[in-house]
Amino acid sequence: MAAKNAAGGGAAAPTVAAPTPGTSNKNLLQQLPAGPVLAFQALAATFTNQGKCLTSNLWLTAGLVTFLSATCIFFSFTDTVKDESGKLHKGVALPGRLHLVDLTRKEQKVMASELKKRGLKPVDWVHAFMSLVVFLTIAGGDVGLQNCFFPFATDDTRQLLRNLPLGMAVMTSFLFMIFPTTRAGIRFDNNTNTLEPAAEKSDGDAAKKEGKPVDKVLTSSANLLQLLPTGPVLAFQTLAASFTNQGKCYRSNLILTAGLVTFLGATCIFSSFTDCVTDRNGKVRKGVALPSQLHIIGLSKKEERELFDHNLLREKKLKVIDWVHAFFTAIVFLTIAFSDVGLQNCFFPKANDDARQLLKNLPLGMAVMSSFVFIIFPTTRMGIGFDDTEYTVIPSSDPAPATKPAP
C-alpha cells in the first residue's frame, strides 16, 4: 500500500506493496476459470443438443469453446489498481505497461512509471496457459460434448476424459497457491464495504466517481459474476464426470452425485449470506448475516464491540433481499447441474423427449432471468472472497515542482 508521511517537513514518496509470492491469501477462485465454466455449462446442453449433434451443433459448440478459451486468456491479463484518492481503475496488461481502460493516455501520464511496472510478465502467460488448460479439460469432460466430438471414443479415452478435469484442477490449484498471481483481475467493485460513516462528498467528487461507459460495463459484469454461482458450478463440472461415471451410474454413483449437488446447493445459499466489512483499524473482516446482526467470523462479542459500531452491524443483518438472492442463486445452480447429460442419464434414464427439452433449455432461461433480477435488485454484500486491501496503489509519479525561495 502507499505509505504517506503527514509530518510537516515534507512527504515521503509513496511506495507500491505487491503481494509476496507464496504468502498471498488471494482468492483461488479468482485464478481458476469459474466464469467461463459457468457460461459453458449454462449453454452446453443447448449447443450440443445433449450430445445428439447436427453439423450446426458442432460449429456452435466449437465456437463457444473457442470464445470462452479466449476469455480465459484475456482475463488472466486484467488487473484492478487503486489511485491515491482510493478510486479503483480497471486495466489490461500490455507488453510495456498496464493500460487503464477508464483513463486516457494523457490522464495516465502522471502514473506512467508505476504503470510500466505492472506490464505483461512471463508469469501472466503461465497463469493464462494453466487457466486455459483447466477450462478445456473441464469442457472436455462434458458428456454431451464428448458424444458430439468423440462419438467412437474407446473406453480408455473416455476414462482419460472422465478423470482429467479433476486431476488438472488439483494440479493447477496447487501451482496457483505456490505461485499466486499479483493481478486483481476485474472483480467486485467495492465502494461500501466499510462500516465507518462516510464523509459528505462535493458535487465535483461525485462527478469523478461516475466513470466512463467501459468502466461501468466491466464493473457491472464483475458484480454480476459475484452473484452467480460460479464456484459451485466450477466444482460440480470438475467432479461430475467422475461422480456420475459419465452417465453409467451404479448406486454408489447416485449417492455421490446426490450428495455433491446437495452440498453445492447449500453453499450457494450460505454464500449469499456472507459479507466483508472493514473495521476501525482498516482490516477487512469476514462475516455471516444473521437475523439480528452481521456476525463477524473469528471475533468474540467483546471484540466486535471494540472494532465495530453495534448499530451499523445491525444494519447489515439478514434481509428479505438476501433470501431472494439465495433462492435465485440456488435455482441457477440446480438447473445448470441438472442439464448435465451424465447426471440426466443417471437420474432420468427414461425421460421422454419433452422432459429432456425442458432440462436442455431451462439453464439458459434461468441464467438470463436471474441475471436480470440481480441487475435490478443488486446485492450490497461482498461475500467472503472479496478483500480490497490487496489492490496495488498506483501513486502519482509527477509531483508538483518545489517552490523557489523568495530572494
Residue 195 is predicted with a pLDDT of 38
pLDDT at residue 349 is higher than 90 = no
Q: Is the pLDDT of residue 285 over 90?
A: no
DSSP annotation string for 306-345: HHS-HHHHHHTS--HHHHHHHHHHHHHHHHHHHT-HHHHH
Evaluate if residue 132 carries a pLDDT over 80: yes
Extents of the domains making up the chain: 28-191+220-273+318-394
pLDDT at 251 over 70: yes
Q: What is the pTM of this model?
A: 0.71
pLDDT, tens digit (0-9, with 9 covering 90-100), for 102-113: 888 888 888 888
Segment 26-51 shows an average pLDDT of 81
Across 117-122, average pLDDT: 88
Calculate helix-pair angle for 213-227, 353-376, nearest 10 degrees: 130
| Cell of residue 376, nine digits | 435490478
Which three-class secondary structure state does DSSP give residue 380?
coil
pLDDT at 305: 80
pLDDT over threshold 60, residue 98: yes
pLDDT of residue 221: 59
Q: Is the pLDDT of residue 401 over 80?
A: no
Q: pLDDT (tens digit, 9 = 90+) per residue, 372-386?
A: 887 787 777 777 755
Tell how strand 98-100 and strand 78-83 pair up: unpaired
- Asked if the model's pLDDT at residue 26 lies above 70, the reply is no
Select, from the ranges 51-65, 144-158, 282-296, 383-397, the one with the highest average predicted confidence (pLDDT).
Answer: 51-65
Which pLDDT score, from 0 to 100, does residue 22 have? 34
What are the C-alpha distances in Å from 45 to residues 145, 159, 344, 363?
A: 9, 21, 11, 8
